[in-house]
């Protein structure tokens, strides 16, 4: 077995951190591999799909209504991952409740989460597609996120990835109207058409 590499001691530049903190509220700010990225708030198709997916998953997996429960599922949580840290904002993320028992915390809890989720979902758009499919996938893999979904609201596709041996394996690629049981939420079946409904 090869010795593991020592953890990186590289930090984000102070100017990058300052620009991240100063980002206007109408923008989504992320730091990936030490570089600041600003994106406009999601367009309507993007926001609609993210809301629909959250609506499909929250009742059975967060509240245990019609499903097993046991998950914390959040919209656009800010994640600080790794020693630098990378600062990511997935469209949706989920943790198994036993890993994140104090999901909300008190008044003194930080606004971000330092624990990698078990599942993340990125809704692809023209302005974010390259980051979602490039550095964000690499960071999620590095941090051991087990499941990743990519939803394309214009092409009406859902790609489901599983982390296997440190690399992403495409498990399913689904389109438009299919019915699906998608890991890690295969306990329920849902209609893909619900994702695109207005």
Q: pLDDT tens digits, residue range 89-115?
A: 999 999 999 998 887 777 777 789 999
Does residue 84 lie in a domain region?
A: yes
pLDDT digits (tens, 9 = 90+) for 131-174: 999 999 999 999 999 999 999 999 999 999 999 999 999 999 99
Count up the domains in the chain and report the number: 1
The per-residue DSSP string of 148-161 comes to EEEEETTTTEEEEE
Please check whether residue 22 lies inside any domain of the structure.
no
| H helical segments located in 107-152 | 129-133, 135-142
Per-residue pLDDT band at 196 (split at 50, 70, 90): very high
Residue 94 contacts residue 145 (beta carbons within 8 Å)? no
Domain range for 118 is 43-196
Contact 138, 110 (CB under 8 A): no
Provide the pLDDT for residue 68. 95
**67 contacts 60 by C-beta, under 8 angstroms:** yes
* Residue 3 in this model has a pLDDT that exceeds 50: no
pLDDT for position 5: 52
Nearest to 67 by CA among 194, 185, 192: 185
pLDDT value, residue 6: 54
Determine what percent of the chain is predicted with pLDDT higher than 90: 78
Global pTM reads 0.91
Q: Is residue 20 part of a domain?
A: no
Compute the average pLDDT of residues 26-46: 90
Could you give phi then psi for residue 171, rounded to 5 degrees? -90, -45
CATH number for the domain spanning 146: value is: 3.90.1570.10
Label residues 120-151 b or e (16+ Cβ within 10 Å = b).
bbbbbbeebeebbeebbbebbbebebbbbbbb
């Amino acid at each position: 077995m090869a010795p593991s590499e020592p953890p990186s001691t590289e930090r984000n530049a102070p100017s990058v951190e300052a620009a991240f903190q100063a980002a206007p509220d109408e923008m989504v700010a992320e730091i990936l591999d030490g570089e600041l990225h600003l994106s406009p708030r999601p367009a309507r198709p993007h926001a609609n799909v993210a809301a629909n997916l959250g609506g499909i998953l929250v009742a059975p997996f967060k509240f245990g209504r019609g499903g097993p429960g046991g998950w914390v599922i959040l919209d656009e949580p800010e994640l600080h991952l790794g020693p630098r840290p990378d600062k990511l904002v997935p469209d949706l993320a989920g943790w198994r409740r036993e890993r994140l028992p104090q999901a909300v915390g008190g008044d003194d809890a930080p606004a971000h989460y330092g624990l990698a989720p078990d599942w993340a979902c990125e809704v692809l758009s023209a302005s974010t597609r390259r980051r979602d499919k490039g550095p964000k996938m690499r960071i999620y893999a590095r941090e051991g996120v087990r499941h990743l979904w990519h939803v394309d609201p214009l092409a009406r596709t859902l790609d489901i990835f599983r982390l296997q041996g440190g690399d992403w394996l495409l498990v399913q690629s689904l389109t438009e109207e299919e019915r699906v049981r998608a890991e890690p939420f295969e306990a329920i079946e849902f209609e893909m058409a619900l994702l695109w409904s207005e």
